[in-house]
Amino acid sequence: MATETERKFLVTDNSYRQLAHAHRYITQGYISRRKEGTVRVRIADKRAYLTVKGVTRGISRDEWEFDIPADDARAMLDRVCEGNIIEKTRYLVNWDGLVWEVDEFISPVKMTVAEVELPADLADAELPLPPFVGREVSHDPAYFNSNL
| pLDDT 10s digits, 81-122 | 988 999 999 999 999 999 999 999 999 999 999 999 998 777
Statement: residue 130 has pLDDT above 90? yes
Catalytic residue (one of 16, 25, 30, 49): 30
What is the C-alpha to C-alpha distance for residues 37 and 16, in angstroms, rounded to an integer?
Answer: 31
When pLDDT is cut at 50, 70 and 90, the band that residue 58 belongs to is confident
| pLDDT tens column, 18-53 | 999 999 999 999 999 998 999 999 999 999 999 999
What class is the 2-147 domain? mainly beta
Which conformational region is residue 15 in: left (phi greater than 0), alpha (psi within -120 to 50 degrees), or beta? alpha
Q: Give the pLDDT score at 19.
A: 98
Query: For this structure, is 25 an active site residue?
Result: no
Average pLDDT over residues 71-76: 98
What is the C-alpha to C-alpha distance for residues 92 and 13, in angstroms, rounded to an integer?
Answer: 15
